[in-house]
Structure 1
């Protein structure tokens, strides 16, 4: 996986920020109750780190349950929307690249929605090692992502099974990493890396997962 593809992925989400909610969720007001329900099922509490917070719809749900939320994203355009959406005093936003970010603190919970599938295969192990270093003892990683059954909706780049082509409303195209979640594959893979993980179907489209380091 080249840095060029990851840079293109960041550029895509920066440019998509203004149209993200409409293209990802359609009716935002209708999506909010579902998001709140899925987050509540995961039981986030204490000091929460949210990776790839985007426009803040999931941050909004986290803020009502967590003691504090630190929300990071590489796209300042999306974060500006998130800041306006979630002005809660217990939420702090920071533009940061999770692959190089070092907060100097640890969290009770790490949460991400629709982010794990954007982690390249060649950075997967490193990513999960870094998460372990960001958790307190007894901490948990919680995630929501798209089930592998949804892969048919993407246009994969020829010869690049984890690279898809995305198109914005203005017609511009970008290459983006997309590794859909296959629970039967992901659970044993994380077990081999020292994580106890359980993944459940949350909706027709999404799965929800919880992972804890194995001592």
Structure 2
């Protein structure tokens, strides 16, 4: 995976910040209701880290359950939007997810629509990074798009799609829709126990824990 594509991916989300909610969710009020329902179903609690928080719709729901919440994203433009959605007690940090580290440990690490942007070349290292972020008995919770949704993208490579903003600018980003069975087996090979459920035709919900001895 070219680092140029990963840089383009960050640039895309920085420039999409102002139009993201409308173009990603359409009816934001309905999306908020669905997000609140799903977050309650996933039961985040304690010290929570959100990776790739975006414009904060999920951060808003997580804040209602977490004892403490730290949200990170590579795009300062999306974090600026997210800050206005949540209590002042939520902490934010602009950071490259793949290069970020902290001495803090979390009961829950959460990410929405992020795993599908992790290239194969970074996959194993990313899950090693997650293991190091978890407290004892910690969990990784995630949401993403089911593989059935892949036809909607303009594919230009095995894991690369081209996206166009409302102003006509185009960007290449990583996109890997989730096949639940394949992901469960892949994570088991890396020392994780993962359970995945489907919500509607488009989204999957996952929970992963390190296997004993890993």
Q: Contact conserved, 1:67 with 1:90, CA < 8 A, in 2?
A: no
How many residues are treated as equivalent by the alignment?
212
Aligned partner of 2:182 in structure 1 is 185
Deviations 1:109-160 (A, max 9, x none): 0000000000001100000000000001100000000000000000100xx2
Aligned partner of 2:19 in structure 1 is 19
What is the CA RMSD across the aligned residues, in angstroms? 0.6
Q: In the TM superposition, what is the alpha-carbon distance from 1:203 to its structure 2 partner? A: 1.9
Secondary structure in 1 aligned to 2:140?
Answer: strand
Secondary structure in 2 aligned to 1:126?
Answer: helix
Q: Does 1:214 align with 2:211?
A: yes
Aligned partner of 2:162 in structure 1 is 165
Distance 1:90 1:36 in 2: 19
Q: With the length of structure 2 as denominator, give the TM-score of the two structures.
A: 0.98
Distance 1:93 1:67 in 2: 15
Aligned partner of 1:146 in structure 2 is 145
Distance 1:31 1:140 in 2: 24
Runs of 4+ in structure 1 over 2 Å off: none
Secondary structure in 1 aligned to 2:121?
Answer: helix
Q: In the TM superposition, what is the alpha-carbon distance from 1:90 to its structure 2 partner? A: 3.1
Deviations 1:159-195 (A, max 9, x none): x210000000000000000000000100010001000
Q: Contact conserved, 1:117 with 1:177, CA < 8 A, in 2?
A: yes
Unaligned 5+ segments in structure 2 are none
Distance 2:31 2:181 in 1: 28
Q: With the length of structure 1 as denominator, give the TM-score of the two structures.
A: 0.97
Unaligned 5+ segments in structure 1 are none
Secondary structure in 2 aligned to 1:58?
Answer: helix
Q: Does 1:32 align with 2:29?
A: no
Choose the corresponding residue for 1:199, options 169, 173, 196: 196
Distance 1:202 1:162 in 2: 24
**Counterparts in 2 of 1:64-79, with a 5 A limit?**
64-79=64-79
